[in-house]
């Protein structure tokens, strides 16, 4: 019986070798020993199932590229909380759009507001509107439909628009600080230093810097491979959550992100601080208390927006990677994507006497210009 089993095993092995040589397949490992009492079918089955892995098995868990991402957003909340947030954020979003539209319209129609300060304010309102439109609608959709998908090109487009408008806002606020400095410290040269050409150059330069920095960031982030990770721990496409999903080395990208953040946050914020130090020193030399009060009143609105805008953005983008918390960053991001854009029209309409007067003229259906 043992000799019969050996003969059958040898014949099965030779048949398997001939089949592999004819088909160009690597010979499988052969079973040379058969236990006593085993069946012939078990021996042949062992030969057939001892197969080397083929190329279809893949090279590892990161073999497939990601075609789309999913926003985690506020999926951890219950539907009642998400519905409440949806109503609140939608109301703030509509107020932001309408407030900025009112500012731009009044500045455009009222000749009393055709000054460098309001030209820059109108540009900031337009940029803030584009900024919120790039982020908030998808966030609202994510509140109604958790784990909302977005294609990789769509994510790149959102990141580009968000960064362009956000960086443009930073430099427009710096330009507005420079405008206040010239108006208070060099009033006799104000019309020369802040002429129409200078204002257009400041706005164009802010937009150009935003486009350039956004191109660098988007190219840096989406040059990385994204493999199995596809859930973005945020409610929109931002740099740091995307770097968390990359399956390659992100050291260079982290350095690029930090350098860009310093250039668009620390540098403009430093220039604004220098402007206000010079403004304060000039105002303190004014003899009358009424003159000092008026000078400070023209700066309060701008300073309020600057502190909130730069403060929230600096916490997120200048924080060391070791202390980064995507959950905390998400909450802070709500402030500078939903609340801060609303702060601009509210502050500049409620605290600005000239804008309030222009609005009253418009609502009273009186001519907006003499």
Per-residue pLDDT tens digits for 52-67: 443 333 334 444 577 8
Least confident of 12-16, 54-58, 212-216, 257-261: 54-58
* Per-residue pLDDT, 315: 77
pLDDT at position 193, please?
92
Mean pLDDT in the chain?
78
pLDDT one-digit tens code per residue, 137-187: 999 998 988 888 899 999 999 999 999 999 999 999 999 999 999 988 898
Q: Cβ neighbours of residue 188 under 8 Å, at least 6 residues apart? A: none
In this predicted structure, the answer to whether residue 89 has a pLDDT above a threshold of 80 is: yes
Tell me, letter by letter, the H, E, C secondary structure of the chain. Answer: CHHHHHHHHHHHHHHHHHHHHHHCCCCCCCCCCCCCCCCHHHHHHHHHHCCCCCHHHCCCCCCCCCCEEEECCCCCCCHHHHHHHHHHHHHHHHHHHHHHHHHHHHHHHCHHHCCHHHHHHHHHHHHHHHHHHHHHHHHHHHHHCCCCEEEHHHHHHHHHHHHHHHHHHHHHHHHHHHHHHHHHHCHHHHHHHCCHHHHHHHHHHHHHHHHHHHHHHHHHHHCCCECCCCEECCCCCCHHHHHHHECCCCHHHHHHHHHHHHHHHHHHHHHHHHHHHHHHHHHCCCCCHHHHHHHHHHHHHHHHHHHHHHHHHHHHHCCCHHHCCHHHHHHHHHHHHHHHHHHHHHHHHHCCHHHHHHHHHHHCCCCCCC
CB 150 within 8 A of CB 71: yes
Residue 327: the pLDDT is 64
**298 or 97, which is more confident:** 97
More confident residue, 229 or 21: 229
Dihedral sign for Cα 91, 97, 98, 100, please: positive
The pLDDT of residue 84 is: 93
pLDDT at 325: 62
Tokens of 225: 């491979």
Tens of pLDDT, residues 307-334: 888 887 777 777 766 555 666 777 778 8
Q: Which pLDDT score, from 0 to 100, does residue 234 have?
A: 86
pLDDT at 249: 86
Dihedral-angle region of residue 365 (phi above 0 means left; psi in -120 to 50 means alpha; beta otherwise): left
Per-residue pLDDT at 363:
75
Q: pLDDT tens for residues 184-217?
A: 889 899 989 999 999 999 999 999 999 999 999 9
- 97-118 average pLDDT score: 89
Tokens representing 290 are: 């009424």
Gap between the Cα atoms of 240 and 329, Å rounded: 10
Q: Averaged over 273-285, what is the pLDDT? A: 88
Higher pLDDT pick, 12 / 116: 116
Integer CA distances (angstroms), 289 to 13, 284, 296, in order:
106, 9, 11
Q: Tokens 């539907």 appear where?
A: 79
Alpha-carbon span 146 to 352, nearest angstrom: 41
**Whole-prediction pTM:** 0.76
Per-residue pLDDT at 44: 37
């Amino acid at each position: 019986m043992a000799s019969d089993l050996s003969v059958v095993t040898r014949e099965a092995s030779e048949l398997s070798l001939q089949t592999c040589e004819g088909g160009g397949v690597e010979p499988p490992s052969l079973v040379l020993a058969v236990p006593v009492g085993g069946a012939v079918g078990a021996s042949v089955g062992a030969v057939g199932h001892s197969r080397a892995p083929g190329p279809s098995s893949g090279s590892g868990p990161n073999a497939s590229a990601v075609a789309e991402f999913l926003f985690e957003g506020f999926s951890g909340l219950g539907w009642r909380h998400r519905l409440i947030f949806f109503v609140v954020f939608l109301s703030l979003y509509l107020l932001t759009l309408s407030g900025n539209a009112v500012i731009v319209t009044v500045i455009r129609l009222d000749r009393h507001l055709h000054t460098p300060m309001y030209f820059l304010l109108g540009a900031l309102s337009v940029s803030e509107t584009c900024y919120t439109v790039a982020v908030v609608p998808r966030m609202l959709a994510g509140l109604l439909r958790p784990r909302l998908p977005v294609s990789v090109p769509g994510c790149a487009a959102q990141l580009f628009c968000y960064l362009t408008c956000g960086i443009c806002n930073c430099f427009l606020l710096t330009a507005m600080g420079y405008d206040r400095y010239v108006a208070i410290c060099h009033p006799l040269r104000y019309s020369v230093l802040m002429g129409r050409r200078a204002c257009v150059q400041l706005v164009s330069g802010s937009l150009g810097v935003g486009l350039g920095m956004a191109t660098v960031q988007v190219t840096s982030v989406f040059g990385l491979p994204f493999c199995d990770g596809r859930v973005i721990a945020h409610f929109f496409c931002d740099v740091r959550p995307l770097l968390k999903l990359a399956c390659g080395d992100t050291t260079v990208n982290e350095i690029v992100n930090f350098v860009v953040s310093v250039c668009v946050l620390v540098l403009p914020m430093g220039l604004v601080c220098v402007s206000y130090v010079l403004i304060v020193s000039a105002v303190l030399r004014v003899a009358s208390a009424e003159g000092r009060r008026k000078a400070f009143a023209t700066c309060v609105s701008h300073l309020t927006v600057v502190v909130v805008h730069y403060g929230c953005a600096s916490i997120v983008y200048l924080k060391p990677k070791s202390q980064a918390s995507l959950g905390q960053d998400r909450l802070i991001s709500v402030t500078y994507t939903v609340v801060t854009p609303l702060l601009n029209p509210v502050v500049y309409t409620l605290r600005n006497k000239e804008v309030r007067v222009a609005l009253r003229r418009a609502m009273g259906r009186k001519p907006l210009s003499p």
